[in-house]
Chains A and B, each alone.
Chain A
Amino acid sequence: MTEKIATRDAYGKALAELGRTNPDIVVLDADLSKSTKTDVFAKEFPERFFDMGIAEANMIGTAAGLAAAGKIPFASTFAVFATGRAFDQVRNSVCYPRLNVKIAATHAGLTVGEDGASHQSVEDIALMRALPGMTVIVPADGVETRLAVQAAAAYKGPVYLRLGRPKVPVIFDDNYRFAIGKAALLREGQDVTIVACGYMVGEALAAAETLAGEGVEARVLNMSTIKPIDTEALVKAARETGALVTAEEHNIIGGLGSAVAEVLAEEYPVPIIRVGIRDTFGESGSPADLLKKYGLTAADIVEAARKAVAKK
């Protein structure tokens, strides 16, 4: 069986690790430290951890001030609240002055599950991507999360890290080299390219397997950095495979699919089919039930790939 670990768990561990080597790392949370896993850091470095209570806007504003005074703040809460409640603070106090704030938001997307639509962010990538100067990273597994946390800390400027609630299969091994802005080629193929991020990377790999059985060789790209996006890898994929499918646990408006379509429309137009949430809010249910109902399974990617190939 493949090992499974939630990206939020990997985040909690990586953050504590980082705290041991870098005294400038400070962490803020908004009464969700047990869920976002910042409690691991809090236990080890209580003097560098600030629970701001249920006050996300204040948390981001405070993080901006800490960054302005030389600290490297990581601020965590659920993705809906980090990007929604605190949007103006992220915009005007973090991105506009280009402060060195890392927003690590957990419980993104439908896989929040039973808590329902109020807690399922379907728009956070779009919101963060539209902010000038913001870097947006959606790690696919625990290994990539750890590397992304380290890269975010080393990078100077605002970063949005989108993390998930459920356990997801480990995709990368210890040889994996993560770089901000670089897509990872997970599977070679010449007939179609599936570009995925986050939870959907596992589904994309499963879809490629099914497609291979039908004689369709799908390339799979893990596009963990959504901004700045890896234009080179996208143009190469468009040129060599002639059709693309995007797969994301996010609204098809404004997220990965939009980012890919924007680049290729200008640089190398080919058919693109977007798999994602079709401009609707979610609802309560188990993650598996929700992914099925909202069209976010390997089977949905397979169908989209067939359509994309037919359009070539």
Chain B
Amino acid sequence: MELAPETKAMLEDKAKRIRRHIVSMLAEAGSGHPGGSLSIADIVTALYFQVMRVDPARPDWEDRDRLVLSKGHACPVLYAALAERGFFPVEELMTLRKINSRLQGHPDMKKTPGVEMSTGSLGQGLAAANGMALAGKLDKKDYRVYVILGDGEIQEGMIWEAAMAAAHYKLDNLTAFLDFNGLQIDGPIREVMNPEPLAEKWAAFGWNVLTIDGHNFEEILAAVEKAKATRGKPTMIIAHTVKGKGVSFMENQVGWHGNAPSKEQAEQALAELA
């Protein structure tokens, strides 16, 4: 898919700003999950700045598209995108994980405008997204539901229960992204508990499966368009990504799953993202 140069530049600029926010927020909070936030920064940017029909002034607008961040620990990227999109002030990002903040360590739909589902307990987001997609069909609404899953997260059995249900109910208004960064906490997914082959599994469960480079905006947007055009099936977009993408010392490092950068590390990261 050809992207207009100004669109591409806008998306690249937004993604960089979002990555910078992630680094700053986590350094300020002193804890949190940089790796899995950075790996989906481009996907989340594409969704909020090109794909999804949302209105920051009306976070509860009935006809809005919805994103369920099933891998809830990556919420810094969601908060950064929502702030950049205008759901709340960018300055508020610095309250992440602090007492009385609207920005919880894992997404809380009752506290944060724009957050569609409370997540953090891995494995539950796909079922919730199914429910939203089913409601959309019942209400004859044309909104679309997006969900982002971790590649370790799909080891949870209920992901496969939900996968079966989404195909059974022909939820073609549902599009899932699988953040295929190859790492979980205890190590590479292949060594801990191999969920592969991925494309074959999702296809066998009745999904339309697409495989892309999750850091390439043309591929992300083309896949979303293909998903929209697909009838009678949910779509799974398997996105090859790099955990920690954009910060050299975090890339592909399992140790950066759930550790915040120090002040010095954050400075180096921000310099790389300048």
Q: Which residues of A contact B (CB under 8 A)?
A: 29, 31-35, 51-55, 57-58, 80-81, 84-85, 113-119, 283-286, 289-290, 293
Q: Which residues of B contact A (CB under 8 A)?
A: 29-32, 72, 96-101, 103-106, 108, 118-123, 152-153, 155-157, 184-186, 189, 192-193, 195
> In the complex, which residue of chain A has the Cβ closest to the Cβ of B255?
A34
B106 touches A34 (CB 8 A): no
Chain B residues, CB < 8 A from A29: 186
Query: How many A-B pairs with Cβ below 8 Å?
Result: 94
A289 touches B99 (CB 8 A): yes
Interchain residue pairs with CB less than 8 A apart (29):
A31-B152, A31-B184, A31-B186, A33-B186, A34-B185, A51-B193, A52-B193, A53-B155, A53-B192, A54-B123, A55-B155, A55-B157, A58-B157, A80-B121, A114-B31, A114-B97, A115-B105, A116-B97, A116-B105, A116-B108, A118-B72, A118-B106, A118-B119, A284-B97, A284-B101, A285-B97, A285-B99, A286-B99, A293-B99
Q: How far is the CB of A115 from chain B (nearest CB, A)?
A: 4
Complex CA–CA separation, A284 to B192 (angstroms): 29
> In the complex, which residue of chain B has the Cβ closest to the Cβ of A81?
B121
Complex CA–CA separation, A116 to B72 (angstroms): 11
Chain A residues, CB < 8 A from B193: 31, 51-55
Q: Which of B72, B119, B153, B155 has the most chain A CB atoms inside 10 A of its CB?
A: B155
| Given the contacts A114-B97, A115-B105, A116-B106, A32 and B186 also touching, CB distance less than 8 Å | yes
Chain B residues, CB < 8 A from A85: 121, 123
Chain B residues, CB < 8 A from A51: 186, 192-193
Complex CA–CA separation, A147 to B50 (angstroms): 58
Complex CA–CA separation, A51 to B152 (angstroms): 12
Complex CA–CA separation, A52 to B84 (angstroms): 38
Q: How far is the CB of B163 from chain A (nearest CB, A)?
A: 15
> In the complex, which residue of chain A has the Cβ closest to the Cβ of B150?
A54
